[in-house]
Structure 1
């Protein structure tokens, strides 16, 4: 029996498009199924001013497939030199949707990030007053903190004090990976939400390490124990409006992944909706897929849901390519480890 599901066109609330030849190759993979995406600002050099964001948006528009029903939502990269007035003006002008907090050294191209939260307090207060959301890469970077504990420590050391001191600031904890983060978000009655990635709903740390190192499953925050994956699954499939999709699809060429010090990132833009349909069906929660991918994010950001729809149909396995060929080299597509039976008709 054919199974079909039609939902509002989804959004991706955490996406890496890169720039140049990589941007031109990966952008169509998102525009095929998604209506909007929050575009990460960690380029080299990073997107730190309203003018930078406008220029990056212009480059994205120039690479846009003709007729694509897609809107990139721009961000600024928070630094200790960020001008609060520029942030507020860029938001008011519709140039940016949010600001990104990278603890310095936490992930790819995060060297310009924040080391001392006290130095950005005036900017955060201005953002709270103007209604500019803050998206957080939620990990501390202290060398003495185990990499599997860095998200939980971030909540205690950074996020809880921030929310206590600036309670009107709208915060999104991005790509949560632990039960600790899920529990913390569920304690909030306002101004806190979280994105969950496709791959963190599917893999745990065994996928990276058992039977040899699998570099294409290596990401930051790194996948955790199975108990944490199950907590993410429960949150994503619950219908709780505080949780929504942010793929963190992050393309790196194979040579940059498969080396002695490989890059962190999973590229999943191409097959995310097929993966999620499988995951939600397996959990008996297909009726919650639309909320997670298409409704909860716009509600939190105060944006309308997309007018268009996509239809998912279950049938024979989808023949997704193993790799995306780009002008910079091949990029390996996320392999969920099971056949993808849900076809997407946009």
Structure 2
């Protein structure tokens, strides 16, 4: 049995760092194992312009732990007022690496998102011209659509029409949760990739609801049936370069999760890489791990694979901290519910 595994330093292609005291608390958790991350722009107020992105990046760099080898890859929050020229300038300067589409009301701090997709067509067309990826939160928000169906409906109603209208647009379906999304990505000839989170590879909707509500497993998109989780595991461990790790690690203080209307998000920055080694080992696919966490996303974003490495070692079951402390309050670390035997040792 493999006891040690050395891979290129992983990247996180979907990460929430928040701001202020929370940023200072969670950034070291990501920087410990990851070399780069696509930083989500859904702050309050959101990161809409190049100037906003530059200011947010400066705050991230100011919070960076001493000696950390980590590069934040900034994104812009798409609104119906987004200026295509501002997007192009931000991309040409190497400041932003993607634009994020939130359907209005789909998730945390998405109220400024898009309602009329025709209004953002000029932005899509400019992005296609310059090769800048569009990252999408793939859910419709129509009240008549069941929450467990919102991803599949989004593909049919929103995403496929966008890709047909602007076929050169490069798109990342973020945090896919269904076999429908897996099938859609694998049917695409080019220009479409998908991130999969650590927690969606581990939990299904029963983990949230059976035996009592477990708020720290609640996320958006919400975890689906076991058949969908298995489809995600198969996609992640297949070696298909269209799938890569995006943790969607999303910190909330415990009082915001453990309340009558709890926030969506799982905090996995602390243990995501050991969790991935465990998942891939259980699937008999450790040889595919470096592709999923270190190579496929870099290729999609047209960036070099990291020249540095990390080493994972298998041993006795690992104990992760139950919580991390922030200036805003405690944040619960995702608990997979099973023993994890991998640790990052170098």
TM range (shorter): over 0.9
In 2, the alpha carbon distance for the partners of 1:325 and 1:66 equals: 19
TM-score (norm 2): 0.99
Equivalent in the alignment of 1:11: 11
How far is 1:222 from its partner?
A: 0.1
- The answer to whether structure 1 residue 236 and structure 2 residue 236 are counterparts is yes
How far is 1:319 from its partner?
A: 2.1
Q: Say whether the 8 Å CA contact 1:39–1:74 is kept in structure 2.
A: yes
Equivalent in the alignment of 1:164: 164
Equivalent in the alignment of 1:250: 250
In 2, the alpha carbon distance for the partners of 1:243 and 1:144 equals: 30
In 1, the alpha carbon distance for the partners of 2:206 and 2:2 equals: 34
**Residue deviations 1:170-225 (CA, integer Å, cap 9, x gap):** 00000000000000000011000000000000000000000000000000000000
In 1, the alpha carbon distance for the partners of 2:292 and 2:345 equals: 19
Q: Say whether the 8 Å CA contact 1:175–1:221 is kept in structure 2.
A: yes
In 2, the alpha carbon distance for the partners of 1:205 and 1:103 equals: 23
Instruction: Label 1:289 to 1:50 Cα distance change in 2 as closer, same or farther (>3 A).
Output: same
How far is 1:130 from its partner?
A: 1.1
Task: Report SS of the residue matched to 2:163.
Answer: helix
Equivalent in the alignment of 2:191: 191
Task: Report SS of the residue matched to 1:330.
Answer: strand
**Residue deviations 1:81-112 (CA, integer Å, cap 9, x gap):** 00000000000001100000000000000000
Equivalent in the alignment of 1:311: 311
Task: Report SS of the residue matched to 2:147.
Answer: coil
Task: Report SS of the residue matched to 1:74.
Answer: strand
In 2, the alpha carbon distance for the partners of 1:304 and 1:227 equals: 35
Consecutive unaligned residues of structure 2, counting only runs of 5 or more, are none
Equivalent in the alignment of 1:219: 219
How far is 1:2 from its partner?
A: 6.9
Equivalent in the alignment of 2:322: 322
- The answer to whether structure 1 residue 279 and structure 2 residue 279 are counterparts is yes
Task: Report SS of the residue matched to 1:343.
Answer: strand
How far is 1:318 from its partner?
A: 1.7
Equivalent in the alignment of 1:48: 48
Equivalent in the alignment of 2:25: 25
Equivalent in the alignment of 2:58: 58
In 2, the alpha carbon distance for the partners of 1:299 and 1:2 equals: 27
Equivalent in the alignment of 1:294: 294
How far is 1:71 from its partner?
A: 0.3
In 2, the alpha carbon distance for the partners of 1:178 and 1:125 equals: 28
Equivalent in the alignment of 2:128: 128
Equivalent in the alignment of 1:338: 338
In 2, the alpha carbon distance for the partners of 1:197 and 1:16 equals: 13
Task: Report SS of the residue matched to 1:81.
Answer: coil
Instruction: Label 1:2 to 1:101 Cα distance change in 2 as closer, same or farther (>3 A).
Output: closer
Q: Say whether the 8 Å CA contact 1:277–1:342 is kept in structure 2.
A: yes
Q: Say whether the 8 Å CA contact 1:2–1:315 is kept in structure 2.
A: no
TM-score (norm 1): 0.99
Equivalent in the alignment of 1:110: 110
Equivalent in the alignment of 2:78: 78
Q: Say whether the 8 Å CA contact 1:10–1:36 is kept in structure 2.
A: yes
Equivalent in the alignment of 1:210: 210
Runs of 4+ in 1 over 2 A off after TM superposition: none
Equivalent in the alignment of 1:152: 152
How far is 1:345 from its partner?
A: 2.2
Consecutive unaligned residues of structure 1, counting only runs of 5 or more, are none
In 2, the alpha carbon distance for the partners of 1:254 and 1:15 equals: 19
Identify which range, 1-10 or 290-299, moves more after superposition: 1-10
